[in-house]
Amino acid sequence: MNDRLIMENVLLLLKSNMEVYVHGTLEASNKKIRDALHFGLEETQKLQYNLYQKMVECEWYQVSNVSIKSINDTLKKVKKKN
């Protein structure tokens, strides 16, 4: 297993963990539990962002701008379905 694959897997795990923290934070009825989950969410977001930045730096995560035409084409498709 190479570094890129490991980092991609860790990024996916962090994103999955964030989903759990978000839902837990929204559903928690106890303030202390909500605060603990919210803290976990914030820390996981920091880890995810730092890992993402490192992957972009290593050119393992490609970022590109979306054209206005592509956005408009997608909007047309969505409007047709409704």
- Could you report the per-residue pLDDT of 1-58, keeping only the tens digit for each? 799 999 999 999 999 999 999 999 999 999 999 999 999 999 999 999 999 999 999 9
- Indicate the burial class of 72 (C-beta count within 10 angstroms; 0-12, 13-18, 19 or more): exposed
- Cβ count within 10 A of residue 41: 18
For the entire predicted model, the pTM comes to 0.73
Under a CB-based contact definition with an 8 Å cutoff, are residues 10 and 60 in contact? no
pLDDT of amino acid 81: 78
